[in-house]
Amino acid sequence: MLLIIDIGNTNITLGVFDNNEIVHFWRLSTEITRTEDEYGVFIKNLLRETNLQDKITAAVISSVVVQLTERIETALRKYLGINSLIISHKIKTNVTLKTDDISQIGADRIANAEAAYGLYSTPAIVVDFGTATTFDIVNSNNEFIGGIITAGMKIQAESLSVKTSKLPKLNIEIPKSVIGRNTIDAMLSGIVLGHAAMIDGLITECEKELGQKAVIIATGGYSSIISKYLKRKFDYINPHLTLIGAKMLYELNR
């Protein structure tokens, strides 16, 4: 079995694949201060609880947190006795990386592009709702040509609360109406509906530059909330897209 670990700024997602099926899935908070031993024991215990401790033969790490990449790689080798493929611009991909500086492309974006190519058709636009909301764009020549990075909805909500004296903290949820009749509803409308309007507009502009319609794929925690308010609906919502792309990269590089 294959263990995939996607290290994000807010969460660490772990998935175990048995052939092409995800058989277990966990989401942890990203804690930059945890040591390799803490991560090693934590991951080992998760696998022990599901009787998978001795069934994992290899791992793939997709990380945007540089400080944790080597730490978790070492933890897996030390506590599980397995080696890891680290996703970066240096590994083999089916999608050609064609940006100004490919060393700056995040591992999650490489995995998303690989999954878009492998599962769907191109040109494709992957909208990934994480700490940041990112657009990963693969053209009809199967080239990852870049994309867009903007503040995610959670960052927007936290910024409103921190940077203003009277606005409260809130959880992202479906707004009751466009016109908020109280502070919370007004904030939710601005964050959620504003985000949806932004995505609609950016997809339109991206397709103008591509010169054709693209397959629109969404992934990440807030994709189902946003999808209700889009004029241009997502063609696919795949919550495990990054993990699946990471598995495809493992198969290509094994």
- Residue 238, pLDDT > 70, answer yes
39 vs 155 pLDDT, higher one? 39
What is the per-residue pLDDT across 162-196, written as a single tens digit (0 to 9) for each?
777 667 777 788 888 899 888 888 888 899 999 99
- Confidence (pLDDT) at 44: 94
To the nearest whole percent, how much of the chain has pLDDT over 70? Answer: 99
Per-residue pLDDT, 165: 66
Question: Is 70 exceeded by the pLDDT of residue 215?
Answer: yes
User: How high is the pLDDT of residue 3?
Assistant: 97
Positive or negative, the Cα torsion across 108, 110, 112, 115? negative
Query: Domain residues of the chain, as ranges?
Result: 2-86, 96-241
* Predicted local distance difference test score (pLDDT) of residue 140: 96
- The pLDDT of 146-156, averaged and rounded, is 91
Q: Band of the pLDDT at 199, cuts 50, 70, 90? A: very high
CB 157 within 8 A of CB 226: no
Q: How confident is the model at residue 244 (pLDDT cuts 50, 70, 90)?
A: very high
What pLDDT score was predicted for residue 184? 86
Residues involved in catalysis:
108
Q: How many CB atoms lie within 10 A of CB 131?
A: 17
> What local confidence, expressed as pLDDT, does residue 4 receive?
97
Higher pLDDT, 50 or 166: 50
Q: Is the predicted pLDDT of residue 124 greater than 80, yes or no?
A: yes
198-203 own/partner pairs: CB under 8 Å, 24+ apart: 198/150, 199/127, 199/133, 199/226, 199/230, 200/230, 200/231, 200/232, 202/135, 202/148, 203/125, 203/127, 203/232
Q: Domain 96-241 belongs to what architecture?
A: 2-Layer Sandwich (3.30)
At a CB cut-off of 8 Å and minimum separation 6, what does 39 contact?
68, 71, 72, 75
Band (95; pLDDT cuts 50, 70, 90): very high
* In the chain, % of residues over pLDDT 90: 73
Average pLDDT over residues 123-140: 95
Name the CATH topology of 2-86: Nucleotidyltransferase; domain 5 (3.30.420)
Burial (CB < 10 A; 0-12, 13-18, 19+), residue 178, is exposed
**Weakest-pLDDT range from 18-22, 105-109, 205-209:** 18-22
Rg of the chain on CA atoms, in Å: 19
Q: Do domains 2-86 and 96-241 have the same CATH topology?
A: yes
Chain position carrying tokens 């069934």: 55
Task: Supply the pLDDT for residue 161.
Answer: 77
